[in-house]
Amino acid sequence: MDLAPRHGVDTAAQRFGTGERAALAIHCMLGTSSMWEPVLAPLGATIAATAFDLPGHGKSGLWPVDDTPGAYQTLATRIAASFIDRPVDLIGHSFGAVVALRLAVAAPEAVRSLTLIEPVLFSAVADTSEGHLWRRRQDDYETLYAAGDAEGAARDFVGKWGVGTPWEALSDRHRARFTAQMPIVASVSASNFSDPGQICRPGGFEAIDAPVLLIHGSDSPPVMAEICEAIAGRLPDVGVASVPGAGHMLPLTHARQLSDLIALNLERS
């Protein structure tokens, strides 16, 4: 694993595969780049993929906390962009998918194909009943965090977006790490609703001319399918796939299915 400064943060990155095509994979909140190994390794003959640890995650340096709205999303996007020196197959999960989409909207010429797994871009469905439901659930999280109950906020977040392991069943180390990461989650969660990068702006999605695949789990909260369909409805070359029996954390629970779906999207570009 490499470690180098990128936009003021020592950023750890690792590579999977030796193929001719460059790829970049961006992980979810509370995840690490290592989560991508079972997904990307089977594609190694086709792509040479870089996966990096977001600030405050894995082996990367801490996030220099910034209360500016959207600060973490903007920093993550800039770090991701720093890995791109030719058109890439861009892959993202959850928050990582939002970053990938922000990159694709800002620089569509840099994207050869785009695979978005459970993108948590709630601003895409802000006016729907599911969007309103998750806005209220976000309010619950923000109330806990604002009251100084970082552990309660972590319990809330992991309960909604984890693999289903009860908070009490997690190790002391994991509970402490997740709790310490709540300032990051607070910044990111707010940006998922407020869209600081104007990802949803008129003409933004429509400018992406690379093949796009949106993937959600059949057992994820219904809002995820709704977000995928809302984004897909504005793209010129797009497919939407639902993975049977999967929840939000597909890279951990359904890696083989993701590999197969990404391979299909690679063939389209």
* Residue whose structure tokens are 């594609």: 43
Q: At a CB cut-off of 8 Å and minimum separation 6, what does 260 contact?
A: none
DSSP 3-state assignment of 16?
A: strand
**What's the whole-number average pLDDT of the chain?**
96
When pLDDT is cut at 50, 70 and 90, the band that residue 62 belongs to is very high
pLDDT of residue 227: 98
Give residue 51's pLDDT band: very low, low, confident or very high (50, 70, 90): very high
Residue pLDDT, tens place only, 114-155: 999 999 999 999 999 999 999 999 888 889 999 999 999 999
* Close Cβ partners of 200 (under 8 Å, ≥ 6 residues apart): 121, 123, 124
pLDDT at 193: 95
Where in the chain are the domains? 2-125+197-267, 129-190
Q: Which amino acid, 264?
A: L
CATH superfamily ID and name for 2-125+197-267: Alpha/Beta hydrolase fold, catalytic domain (3.40.50.1820)
Which pLDDT band, with edges at 50, 70 and 90, does 9 fall under? Answer: very high
Q: φ, ψ for residue 233 (rounded to 5)?
A: -65, -15
pTM for the full predicted model: 0.97
| Share of residues in the chain with pLDDT > 70 (%) | 100
pLDDT reported for residue 55: 98
Q: Where residue 203 falls among pLDDT bands split at 50, 70, 90?
A: very high
150 CB neighbour count, 10 Å cutoff: 18
Angle at alpha carbon of residue 56, lines to 64 and 98, rounded to 5°: 95
Question: Rounded distance, CA 31 to CA 265, Å?
Answer: 24
Residues 6+ apart with CB under 8 A from 80: 24, 26, 52, 99, 100, 103
- Averaged pLDDT for residues 38-66: 97
Rounded Cα distance between 258 and 262, Å, is: 6
> pLDDT class for 45, splitting at 50, 70, 90?
very high
DSSP state of 114: E
Concatenated DSSP letters for 186-237?
HHHHHHHHH-TT-TTSTTTGGG--S-EEEEEETTS-HHHHHHHHHHHTT-SS
Contacts (Cβ under 8 Å, ≥6 apart) of 210: 104, 108, 111, 112, 113, 114, 237, 269
The CA R_g of the chain, rounded to the nearest whole Å, is: 17
Q: What is the pLDDT of residue 241?
A: 98
